[in-house]
Amino acid sequence: MKLASLFAAALACALAAGCRTTAGTSVVMNHESGGSVIYEGNTRLHNNVAVTAVTYDKVPAGLNRVNIQLTSLVQRELHLQYRIAWFNAEGMEIDGDGRTYRPLILQGLDAVTVTGVANHPSAVTSRLRLREARAADRRR
């Protein structure tokens, strides 16, 4: 009984403190079909940032490259982190542990383009993972 009360108290404190999730927006691009799908995992981020353009091409080495334009929907400065993951035709992530999140500062109502180059010729699909930097820093 004490454990249940302790858990309930901890949950109430966490809700009162305004805990935020670091899960963010994922944009999945298929470089063979040209399609893209946007997954929203954080409503706060969804209300602050929009994906306004996705283009892709090949670099001279024959690897796929993706360019994703992000636009701020708010007037304040946003401190974000992003990572572009690449997947093969079977849906397996290629070198998932080797990619770290990169910092991104998006000024109010401004747009910025992030670019990623595949790390292997078998990469046919990419996914942009976007999260709030300050929420991620609090987890450490």
Q: What is the CATH number for 111?
A: 2.60.40.3230
100-110 residue pLDDT tens: 889 999 999 99
| Three-state secondary-structure class, residue 22 | coil
In a domain, 17, yes or no: no
In a domain, 74, yes or no: yes
Give mean pLDDT, residues 61-75: 92
Domains held by the chain: number: 1
5-44 residue pLDDT tens: 333 333 233 333 333 333 456 677 666 676 666 666 777 7
In a domain, 15, yes or no: no
In a domain, 62, yes or no: yes
Identify the residue whose tokens are 């109430």.
12
Give mean pLDDT, residues 127-135: 81
| Three-state secondary-structure class, residue 11 | helix
Cα–Cα distance between 128 and 27 in angstroms, integer? 5
In a domain, 87, yes or no: yes
Residue 131: how many other CB atoms lie within 10 Å: 22
Q: Which domain holds residue 133?
A: 23-138
Q: How far is CA 90 from the centre of its chain?
A: 21
In a domain, 42, yes or no: yes
Contact assessment for residue 80 and residue 105, using Cβ atoms and an 8 Å cutoff: yes
Residue 128 has a pLDDT of: 84
Q: What is the pTM of this model?
A: 0.70
